[in-house]
Amino acid sequence: MFWLSRSLFTRLFFSSPQFRPRHYVGGVSVILLISLLYGFAMRAVLAQGTEFQWQQFFADRYLHHVIAFSFGQALLSALLSLFFGVLLARAFYYVEFVGKAFLLKIMSLTFVLPVLVAIFGLIGIYGASGWIAQLLHFFDRTWTGSIYGLSGILIAHLFFNIPLATKLFLQSLESIPYEQHQLAAQLNIRGWRFVRLVEWHVLRRQMLPTFSLIFMLCFTSFTVVLTLGGGPQYTTLETAIYQAILFEFDLPKAAVFALLQFVFCLLLFTFSSLFNNTSQTTLSSPYRWLSPSKSAVKFFHVFLLGVFVCFMLSPLLNILFSALTSGKWLTAWHNPQLWKALTYSLTIAPASALLALLMAVALLLLSRRLQWLYYVKTAQFILNAGMVILAIPILVLAMGLFLLLRDVDFSNAHLFAIVVACNALSAMPFVLRILTEPFNNNMLYYERLCNSLGIVGWQRFRLIEWHSLRTPINYALALAFALSLGDFTAIALFGNQEFTSLPHLLYQQLGSYRHQEAAVTAGILLLLCGAIFALIEHQKEQHDSLR
């Protein structure tokens, strides 16, 4: 690698007889693979973008509208998520009720729930013939709302992001020492004064990191806007890329959208990193003491929790109800397209998860070795290289590969490899976040012991490190499996009738208004993700108990 000096290579590979290049060639190979993959993809996008008449940029009102809507919907979604997240975090913090722990776990389900499955459930609630419309029709009222357009995009984003914001703010509130609650009660600091003097101090530190995270998630949202946008008026940069390729086949226009998306996401990623790198030191205590709240405050908290439970659980219940009551439940299993999609999904997901795990482990082995040799900045650079997918959306990479390989006569094996690679890169940042701390801890605990005993390579991993890494590796693998199972971005460009997946099949069924068949597909995806989520929660509990 050009950024590693000769002395660094010498110290890295030959400073001790226990270390050989073969032990760390994996990490260097992953860096080279990511660099080449993104380099060639972005080169293809840039080459195609040069054919665009850039003087049209300032006169193209549609392009201006797409950029404005991309930022506008992300800003609205982030602000609303923060507002309701703070209110719900306080309600969860101050109200004890049966099923609270279960509801908090269900909130985590939205992280691995396929977006199209949630959209199907939301359409069943807020659509023209959804539960709300049927309830109003029972009372001779007419449902005038629409799930499509800006309102539908905001509802879907809130469904996914309110639980995230709530859990982050709840962690901040739980970091308040119980002595502060007791002292505030003795000084008669209650209500709004307590919020302003005590709670706001911990909540405001979480505001900007949470806002930047949710804003970036909404800005790069693809499936939600593609499905619920409802027309050109509600189009973001990512959906504009997809439409320019598949519907218009205007590759220069798609390349310009991709370049703009890349620049904006890189700036947003850099901006959000400024806040997410700041670590907070909090005190945890087994004791809990809260002063009693006023009746009006309790009622407001209970009301908020009731509305939130209905908002969260009704789409999930609608999916299960629609799947079980669908007249296609039994006949759908005779559909060869469903079996084909199920087979590909259950093949792509484990392959992507395993590839994401292998790449993350290779990067971590190289990174921690550099850190041990006091190349801290270089080690951090390697980890940031693994996070590059957060700065460059997977759709931009997929488009670059599409342009690069458009003259190739693809077989299903080629498409399978491309989708697996894209899904693995998409899941790798989350695997890195889970495994970084355990791998670095093992370096601190066992590095000198392994050096003195000459235990290296596979023997070191099997005899020394596997005991403490088994639980986080299982957790990371299950999470990557769930994320890959519901991913729709790469398959949206490369999927066809012969090469499909369950999310791709569900999108086709929703687009052709085959709601009964879509109910069965959504139900299968929900059950699969529910089973994986149960495994993830089990592994997470074991992982947290070891920390």
Q: How far apart are CA 486 and CA 501, in angstroms?
A: 9
Measured distance CA(403)–CA(206) in Å, rounded: 41
Return the pLDDT at 382. Answer: 78
Q: What does the alpha-carbon distance between residue 81 and residue 70 come to, in Å, rounded to a whole number?
A: 17
pTM of the predicted model as reported, rounded to 2 decimal places: 0.84
Q: What is the dihedral of CA 124, 129, 134, 135, to 10 degrees?
A: 50
pLDDT of residue 292: 64
User: What is the torsional sign of CA 360, 362, 363, 369?
Assistant: positive
Q: Residue 492, by phi and psi: left (phi above 0), alpha (psi -120 to 50) or beta? A: alpha
Q: Is 475 exposed, middle or buried (0-12, 13-18, 19+ CB in 10 A)?
A: buried
Q: Residue 22 has what pLDDT?
A: 59
Q: If the chain, 547 residues long, is cut into consecutive pieces of 10 residues, what is the mean pLDDT of each piece?
A: 44 47 72 84 76 62 86 94 93 85 85 88 87 84 81 92 91 79 73 78 87 88 84 84 79 80 81 59 53 75 91 91 76 82 91 92 84 76 74 79 76 86 89 85 76 73 78 86 86 83 88 83 87 78 61
**What are the pLDDT digits (tens) for 367-388?**
888 777 777 787 777 777 777 7
d(CA 486, CA 113): 7
For 193-236, the pLDDT digits (tens) are: 877 777 888 888 888 888 988 998 898 888 888 888 867 788 88
Q: What is the per-residue pLDDT for 513? A: 77
Q: Max Cα separation, the chain?
A: 82
List, in order, residues 6 or more apart from 495 with CB less than 8 Å away: 415, 501, 504
Task: Quote the pLDDT of residue 352.
Answer: 93
What is the per-residue pLDDT across 88-136, written as a single tens digit (0 to 9) for each?
A: 998 888 888 888 888 888 888 888 888 889 999 999 898 888 888 888 8
End-to-end CA distance of the chain: 35
Residues 226 and 69: their CA atoms lie apart, in Å, by 13
Q: Which pLDDT score is estimated for 376?
A: 76
- Cβ atoms within 10 Å of 110's Cβ, excluding its own: 19
User: Quick one: which of 182, 200, 485 has its CA closest to 349?
Assistant: 485
Which residue is it, tokens 């995230």? 164
Which helix H or strand E contains 369, and what residues bound it? helix 336-372
Q: φ, ψ for residue 15 (rounded to 5)? A: -75, -20
469 and 337 in contact (C-beta within 8 Å)? no
What residue ranges define each of the domains in the chain, with the CATH number in brackets? 48-175+216-277+291-325 (1.10.3720.10), 326-546 (1.10.3720.10)
Nearest alpha carbon to residue 281 among 208, 177, 136: 177
Q: At residue 527, what are phi and psi to the nearest 5 degrees?
A: -65, -40
Residue 297 phi/psi, 5-degree rounding, is -65, -40
Pairwise CA distance, residues 483 & 481, whole Å: 6
DSSP state of 498: S
CA distance linking residue 44 with residue 407, whole number of Å: 13
pLDDT given at position 2: 40
**What's the pLDDT at 490?**
83
